[in-house]
Structure 1
């Protein structure tokens, strides 16, 4: 444990570009076979027999995820072994919940990163692995079930001797887990991690996986306290100034890349024929990281909005685009869908948004080096080539923005007249969309009367 603690500050403190370059060379893609990355071996005490064993540390990078530290301990004296993982980054700004529908044997081989603060549940069996009861682990869906079976079988001999009835019920439950392991019946695996550092593999990336639903949420005060973040409080919004449209506000924050002190600039902008939005930009002088984010300046619209643009001319790439955090993007001709929350909120051009999508795919380790599968790499390269043709105006395609909150925007160059290549549809949100936006439990009518009667 002391070795893991010694590695983390080096990651957190690496703010300069040189240090970030060293970090890239340290954290190599998972399953890389270049022969250069060997685990560091540290002699450490075995807590089972109190003899000296060996701890091996491997710094690796999960494709489409982030850097992690894999720790493996083995003792030659008593043959005891233990494996765990630890995130090489910091606690994320939001928690994450993965909901996977396991229907085939292939789903059992999906990679899973489960941190020690994550909760794993199987609703069909009413089974739950509570947080902080297991060490963090890099495994598969099958491995999660194997660990559960091993944990239940550990004390079975004692139960059979003291309470045969309880032992029999647990044996029956273990049998049901074994049936799930053999994929004899479909089930659902839910990984809920308030730290945001758990992960379930999407083998179809960068395309959408219909069997996997990823939801990001704001931590509750109880979850923040369990993570040691008692000081985490929501900032109260500042009172609007009279000249807010002509003023750029600045406040102190930390860089999301190196955690060094930085400044965030914020400005209220009125988009013609749309509404007010808040643009925030952060520039870190320590590592050079830059990021921008767009928030809607108004409330959630009564209806969702679906905007469809047929890209027919290179001039379409210059259209202004406001993509909110709740907006998903589709390109039907490429069978591509970018879900809610991906890339965050952005105010850019259509060309800039498509380039961000291209960079998101190109940066993934699945397209590079020994960690990539040949068939998957070929599909990704074909996708990047077709996307580049759309950006350069060599291919026609449909660009679809679906925002259930109604806070996204695509410029109409013929405004106030109707754009013949663009279609805007307003629709009633489904119950699940209202649930994702937190509207089902929000009371907005008769609130003042109810409060006055009290």
Structure 2
């Protein structure tokens, strides 16, 4: 049986089989635009606004807007973010230890706040539009903003102007790297990124923490818990008991994570032997052909975190079932590589499948192999992919480590009496920071 939840309106049967957000290519010299008659803010007559939905390579979906008034000649261009909001916010702490760190690329959204604790300096979220820049570019733009009215300020309020000049000099010392400093990026939408020049190796100077948004932060993004409560209400009231839907396939409307076109996601609850219930979700987009699958735990967060270590020495180790939850960090010490929880998401696969997924994602990533990539990064990535291929061919032993603070990850044992001799399972108490990342510290489960 298939339960199907339909959207408020049916899909238009005449819609062309094309993605909603498409790349600009030479094959499509005249992209489709939407034209809207709108008010000119210069002469108060009506002009025309053109809208184009497209994608910026290596970045995300955007809406390009171009306004022109034939009456007065006024024109204006604007770009707005149309990408999806991540499930969690992100906080990135970068320690600038050398001049080269100033050239790191930074992707900022409209909701990114920037702090430099050393100077007690902050650029609040929403004060600047989203952009792709560098650490040096952020400091340079801040200097330019402070200098903008200094001539007028020196005449009208010389005392404040002197203080601002002193602060500008401090910013210049950071831009010229006269001292080491820390810069913090915090984004409640989760759409912020700082380049890792050592990719695919771990960046020891950059700490990335994902956090659960507060109610106020969700409201700032236009997300309201009331909607979520309404979606969960039928199940809570027993209309769809978990015993009845286990093994059944549920279908619900969603948007493609690649082109943002309307599509459907299939969801099924199943039980992994000797572990727990999990929810498997698969999405296939008929517009762009993108396919994705994801696994989430059907149970809650475990009382303790779990660290799983398996030594890969032969074919039977490659065939072990593996569940990597979306809160799990993955590591291969022999290659000095660490994969964060959001890189591959939640997956139910095998040891061979999860390593192959890492290799395929890096091999197909245009972010590191684009025209702007330096040769050193490309060569390092090629060597790393060859090392992964050597492991997959069984010519090199390796250790796969899963570290899941939520305790919802699993590696199959080849023994019927607990872990075998090549599998090590360690349970541990979470730190305050790990509980904060999981949103446990703010939970209230008593007297509410």
TM-score, normalized by length of structure 1?
A: 0.77
Distance 1:394 1:254, change over 3 A: same
| Aligned pairs, number | 397
Shift of 1:324: 0.6
Give 2:161's aligned residue: 167
Q: Select which of 124, 142, 149 maps to 1:155.
A: 149
Cα distance, 1:67–1:297 mapped onto 2, change above 3 Å: closer
Indicate the RMSD between aligned Cα atoms, in angstroms. Answer: 3.4
2:408 corresponds to 1:414? no
CA distance in 2, matches of 1:261, 1:67: 15
| SS of corresponding position for 2:371 | coil
Q: Pairwise mapping of residues 111-122 of structure 1 onto structure 2 (< 5 A)?
A: 111-122=105-116
Answer whether contact 2:212 2:438 (CA < 8 A) is retained: no
Preserved contact between residue 21 and residue 260 of structure 2 (Cα < 8 Å): no
Q: CA deviation at 1:321?
A: 0.6
Q: Within 5 Å, which residues of 2 pair with 1:98-117?
A: 98-117=92-111
Instruction: Name 1:181's counterpart in structure 2.
Output: 175
CA gap 1:157/1:165 in 2 versus in 1, 3 angstroms = same
Deviation at 1:367, TM superposition (A): 5.2
Q: Deviations over 1:69-90 (max 9, x none)?
A: 999xxxxxxxxxx999755745
- The answer on whether the counterparts of 1:85 and 1:138 sit within 8 Å (CA) in structure 2 is no
Q: 1:366 to 1:264 in 2, by over 3 A?
A: closer
Deviations 1:247-277 (A, max 9, x none): 2222222222233332222222221221111
Distance 1:152 1:168, change over 3 A: same
Structure 1 residue 161 displacement after superposition: 2.0
Looking at structure 2, the residues matched to 184 and 232 of structure 1 have their Cα atoms a distance apart, in angstroms, of 51
Alignment correspondent of 1:23: 23
Contact 2:19 2:260 in 1 (8 A): no
- How far apart, CA to CA, are the structure 2 residues paired with 1:60 and 1:324? 29
Further displaced range: 393-402 or 208-217: 208-217
Distance 1:85 1:115 in 2: 12
- Give the conservation status (yes or no) of the 8 Å contact 2:109–2:130: yes
Q: 1:247 to 1:435 in 2, by over 3 A?
A: same
Is 1:294 the counterpart of 2:288 in the alignment?
Answer: no
The CA deviation at 1:380 is 0.9
Deviates more, 1:283-292 or 1:101-110: 283-292
The Cα offsets for residues 200-254 of structure 1, whole Å up to 9 and x where unpaired, read as 2111112221222233445555445545567994254324343232322222222
Q: Which moved more, 1:386-395 or 1:237-246?
A: 237-246
Return the offset for 1:356: 1.1
1:213 lines up with 2:212 in the alignment: no
- Give the Cα separation in 1 of the matches to 2:79 and 2:252: 36
In 2, distance between residues paired with 1:218 and 1:381?
35
Structure 1, 85-94 or 423-432: larger mean CA deviation: 85-94
Aligned equivalent of 1:307:
308
Question: Following the alignment from structure 1 to structure 2, what is the Cα–Cα distance between the partners of residues 336 and 212?
Answer: 14
Structure 2 counterpart SS, 1:436: helix
Distance 1:26 1:224 in 2: 40
1:285-339: CA deviation from partner (whole Å, max 9, x where unpaired): 3332221111112221222111111101122211111001111111111111101
The superposition leaves residues 109-145 of structure 1 with CA deviations (integer Å, 9 ceiling, x where unpaired) of: 1112223342222122221112332333332111111
Unaligned stretches of 5+ in structure 2?
1-14, 28-39, 43-51, 66-75
Task: Say whether the 8 Å CA contact 2:91–2:186 is kept in structure 1.
Answer: yes
Aligned to 2:428: 427
| SS of alignment partner, residue 246 of structure 1 | coil
Q: How far off its partner does 1:442 sit? A: 2.8
User: 1:411: how far off?
Assistant: 0.5
Moved over 6 A (4+): 15-18, 67-71, 82-85
Q: How does 1:350-369 map to 2 (within 5 A)?
A: 350-365=351-366, 368=369
Any idea what the Cα deviations from partners look like across 1:50-82, whole Å, max 9, x if unmatched? xxxxxxx9x98565x5577999xxxxxxxxxx9
User: How far apart, CA to CA, are the structure 2 residues paired with 1:21 and 1:159?
Assistant: 46
Query: Which structure 2 residues correspond to residues 4-403 of structure 1 after superposition, within 5 A?
Result: 23=23, 25=25, 65-66=59-60, 87=81, 89-220=83-214, 222-227=216-221, 233-235=227-229, 236-237=231-232, 238-239=235-236, 240-365=241-366, 368=369, 370-403=371-404
The equivalent of 1:52 in structure 2 is none
Whole-angstrom CA distance in 1 between matches of 2:81 and 2:174: 29
Structure-2 change in CA distance of 1:233 and 1:118 (3 Å) = farther
CA contact (8 A) 1:366 1:377 kept: no
